[in-house]
Amino acid sequence: MANTAALEGINGLRDIRRSPASHLAAALEAGSVEGTVVLKEGPFQTMAGIRVALNSEEGARVASVIGGLPARCGEVRGTEDVSVLWLGPAEFLVVAPEEAHDSLGGDLIRALHTALGDAPGQVVDLSANRTTFELSGPRARAVLEKGCALDLHPRSFTPGTALNTEVGNIPVVLLKSGEDSFRLFPRASFADFLGRWLLDAMREYASPEVP
């Protein structure tokens, strides 16, 4: 009975949760061009902000929970399900599946708090702080280059690289998730603006070619 009640509670949380760009879902679908560039909002993810000294005992304990801590700018570490993005020499963003969240039966945030213990540092649940846009297709890089100062050429920005930057003047963490795919992590309050900016940047690819 207790397990049934817990499951109902978890499903209830999923039912009432609304992502920051959920109101743009129809526009994102309509503005995407299959085979050229596709934009969608990713599913809810468990996210944690970590501040811990990399080469410390507490850093090693935290790393053991999430599959490692990146040591340099742009590096991404972790496991098959958990990505750990470098934000600074002692600052990291952990991105994991929805079910890893403590409110949904997981224990990731609690495990990170336990690993840090009373040592200097910080573990903050950022799951509601950011959302994820997924931009993919042969023209995805061209869309981003309209408003991102990074060198996004494949020789410089390779799959598995993540950097702090701005897209359309909005601060984001930009992860190259594949050869032609990117994930953008903006703060929730910027989701509407960034979603609309990306749609506008994609608009030329939905227009018929001029003979």
Same domain, 166 and 181: yes
Residues 65 and 109 in one domain: yes
pLDDT of residue 209: 58
Residue with token string 């991404």: 76
59 three-state secondary structure: helix
Residue 210 Cα distances to 33, 140, 166, 204, 205, angstroms: 17, 21, 32, 11, 12
Q: What was the pLDDT predicted at 206?
A: 82
Sign of CA dihedral 50, 54, 56, 61: positive
Find the CATH number of the domain harbouring 85: 3.30.70.1520
Burial class (CB in 10 A: 0-12, 13-18, 19+), 21: buried
- Specify the CATH number for the domain of residue 208: 3.30.1360.120
pTM above 0.85, yes or no: yes
Three-point CA angle 28, 31, 37, nearest 5°? 95
Can you list the positions of beta strands (E) in 60-160?
A: 76-78, 83-88, 91-97, 122-125, 133-136
- In-domain check, residue 61: yes
Pair of tokens at residue 93: 């963003």
What's the number of domains the chain is made of?
2
- Each residue's pLDDT tens digit in the chain (211 positions)? 445 544 444 454 555 567 899 999 999 999 999 999 999 999 999 999 999 999 999 999 999 999 999 999 999 999 889 999 999 999 999 999 999 998 888 999 999 999 999 999 999 999 999 999 999 999 999 999 999 999 999 999 999 999 999 999 999 999 999 999 999 999 999 999 999 999 999 999 987 654 5
